[in-house]
Amino acid sequence: MSLRAHIAAQIAADGPMRVDTFMAMCLLHPTLGYYTTRPPFGQAGDFITAPEISQMFGEMLGLSLAQCWLDQGQPARFALVEFGPGRGTLMADVLRATRGVPGFVEAAEVMLIEASPALRAVQRETLADHAVRWLDDPTALPDLPIYALANEFFDALPIRQYVRDGGGWRERHVGLEGGRLTFGLGPAQPQPALKDRLADTKDGDLIEERSSAAPIVDGLGQRITAQGGAALIIDYGDWRSLGDTLQAVQDHAPVDPLHDPGAADLTAHVDFEALAAAAPCAHSRLTPQGVFLERLGITARAQQLATSLDGAALEQHIAAHRRLTHPAEMGNLFKVLALYPSAGTPPPGTEA
């Protein structure tokens, strides 16, 4: 049975399905979900992420975290945590780049948070040279200083969508019409959790809410406050989002999210204000990825790497640098939010 048929049968039995339920089934259904059935990234996959574009991305992030570790007195044991590590490329680049920081890698206990068994297997292979372990519950981090990374993790967490109707909200859901999956709206209802959005929306506006993100950021912030550490959260989105950002991508092109559930990647923009509000520690200003990488010296690093390249490899390297940093490519769409101890300073690259 296809995932589409599965979802249709569930809607026929139980009625219209919430968008977060639909998104969770599409991405992580145990046998038919997008992340559970395939390794989706890279040129050959459906989309490409920053760590797969160039090793420089992980190098810059690793050095920012390592500088935080130095500034915080080099704790002798800490958790180096990555949320949603994909193929494990980012963590591998971080571990390689920080070998030059004496004591950092030795003090690190690498911990990965990954829901997909298929991707865990890829990560095990990519990181075969290191002792790594997987944490099952993203809200329960170990009682250690935490230096954490999350690149394109929060955008994959399911969202609910609501359309403003007077003083209430109509929740958007997935229904069935003549055997086809279609979007529809439930009845208008007051939503106490969305009270503060009544001020900046009007009738017909659509807003998105990602309730599973807050407990994760809360757990992270609690550890950072109690034990020290820092987190770099990179994703696309803005301080506060407005409008429908649910997006399906297959073979590097946008497709209809309802067309072939489980066959396309499904994400939605990250509302960074909601993450910042849920973090019981200090947070940086929201920094465009291009600015963040430039501040960390990506251009000098790019020039250094370029000296040993020529021909097509050199051209690809130059294009990768541009793609990561240029405002018309990923430089502005992607943002960085850092979490750090209230008594500390923002991680390098995210300072105001």
Q: Which of 49, 191, 225, 245 binds ligand SAH (CB under 6 A)?
A: 49
The residue nearest ligand SAH at its CB is 84
Can residue 152 be called a binding residue for ligand SAH (CB under 6 A)? yes
Q: Which listed residue (22, 104, 153, 272) binds ligand SAH by CB under 6 A?
A: 153
**What's the closest the beta carbon of residue 88 comes to ligand SAH, in angstroms?**
9
Task: Give least dist CB 173 to ligand SAH, A.
Answer: 21
CB of 166 to ligand SAH, least distance (A): 34
Letter for the amino acid at 140? A
What are phi and psi for residue 83, nearest 5 degrees? Answer: -90, 125
Q: How many residues bind ligand SAH (CB under 6 A)?
A: 21
Residue 45 binds ligand SAH (CB under 6 A): no
What is the phi/psi pair of residue 198, to 5°?
Answer: -70, -25
What is the CB neighbour count within 10 angstroms for residue 22?
A: 24
263 or 282: CB nearest ligand SAH: 263
Least Å from the CB of residue 130 to ligand SAH = 17
Contact in structure between 225 and 72 (CB atoms under 8 Å): no
Q: Judged by CB, which is closer to ligand SAH: 88, or 348?
A: 88
Q: How far is the CB of 162 from ligand SAH (least distance, A)?
A: 21
Q: How far is the CB of 241 from ligand SAH (least distance, A)?
A: 19
Per CB under 6 A, 86 contacts ligand SAH: yes
Instruction: Give me the 102-141 binding string for ligand SAH, x by CB under 6 A, dash otherwise.
Output: -----------xxxx--x------------------x---
If one asks whether residue 270 binds ligand SAH (CB under 6 A), the answer comes out as no
Sheet with 265-267: list strands edge to edge: 253-255, 247-250, 265-267
Instruction: Identify the DSSP state of 307.
Output: T
Should residue 320 be labelled a site residue for ligand SAH when binding is judged by CB under 6 A?
A: no
- Give the range of 9-17, 152-160, 188-196, 250-258 binding ligand SAH by CB under 6 A: 152-160
Among 16, 33, 45, 51, binds ligand SAH (CB under 6 A): 51
Stretch 1-30: interaction string toward ligand SAH, x if CB under 6 A: --------------------------x---
Beta pairing class for 168-177 and 334-340: unpaired
Closer residue to ligand SAH (CB): 101 or 118: 118
Three-state helix/strand/coil letters over the chain: CCHHHHHHHHHHHHCCEEHHHHHHHHHHCCCCCHHHHCCCECCCCCECCHHHHCHHHHHHHHHHHHHHHHHCCCCCCEEEEEECCCCCHHHHHHHHHHHHCCCHHHHEEEEEECCCHHHHHHHHHHCCCCCEEECCCCCCCCCCCEEEEEECCHHHCCCEEEEEECCEEEEEEEEEECCEEEEEEEEEECCHHHHHHCCCCCCCCEEEECCCHHHHHHHHHHHHHHHCEEEEEEEEEECCCCCCCCEEEECCEEECCCCCCCCCEEECCEEHHHHHHHCCCEECCCEEHHHHHHHCCHHHHHHHHHCCCCHHHHHHHHHHHHHHHCCCCHHHHEEEEEEECCCCCCCCCCCC
Q: Which among 11-19, 79-87, 285-293, 330-338 is the span making contact with ligand SAH, rule CB under 6 A?
A: 79-87
Q: What is the smallest separation between the CB atom of 292 and ligand SAH, expressed in angstroms? A: 15
State the Cα–Cα distance between residues 226 and 185, nearest whole angstrom.
43
Among 65, 111, 156, 213, binds ligand SAH (CB under 6 A): 156
Stretch that binds ligand SAH, among 45-53, 64-72, 271-279, 309-317 (CB under 6 A): 45-53
Q: Which residues bind ligand SAH (CB under 6 A)?
A: 27, 35, 41, 49, 51-52, 84-86, 90, 113-116, 119, 138, 151-153, 156-157
